[in-house]
Structure 1
């Protein structure tokens, strides 16, 4: 989780996530969203005869879920800057539970106190296997962005009961 401005971050900061189980619904919805209906993801009979004997969760879905397990504070994260060295080290299956670990490995200042924070992201399953590893970078603000005050109820009158 990145929840500090760039100047407050330090190389070596580590965060870990809660767990999340990969579901049949995740896989089917991702097939629908992306059009990735490869039989290794969508056909039980085909997958039964394949290398792992069961359907695999799409790698891009696993990356998306593991990355999203690390919540980001919109008040400090400006943009997703990129991902490098993404590797899927073990397969993920429907029913696996995954966790994420993020460690800041590099900080590069930009203008106005902002900068790029690069983190090593690890995804681990319930078997304590590292399923993915990558480096991802975020552009982090130098000052916290406070959301505009928007209270749709501010000018409404409500009857007291």
Structure 2
């Protein structure tokens, strides 16, 4: 009986260690995994640099950023958010200074996300072309894609969030 108890205890310990291990976590973006430390993220994404605008948020802080990311032919800036110095979220903002348009980027990135993750869970697009939002539940990551156009910015804004479920 003791051998069975010992075997069961060892199995529980091994399973618990595997689940808690960062190597067991699923890839979020660019070889990052939720729960990674700042140093681990910098090793996985060498172009990630400290974000000078990080501030000190009470919940999550964008400690790192990547200035030049390309997604579906559009240039974006990535912000890597940490909670207690562990990766919790990756956000992207469209760089519109080169004349890019948020509505066009939304369409192109939606197509790319559909190819990679399948049909979105929800999609709402304003028929006037002033905004839209899509949501993918791509286990283990949730992805939110949002755009809006409003004066005085004719290009609009576009954000993508890779969120921990």
Fold-level similarity (TM above 0.5): no
Q: Output the TM-score relative to the length of structure 2.
A: 0.28
More strand by share: 2
TM-score, length of structure 1 as denominator length: 0.28
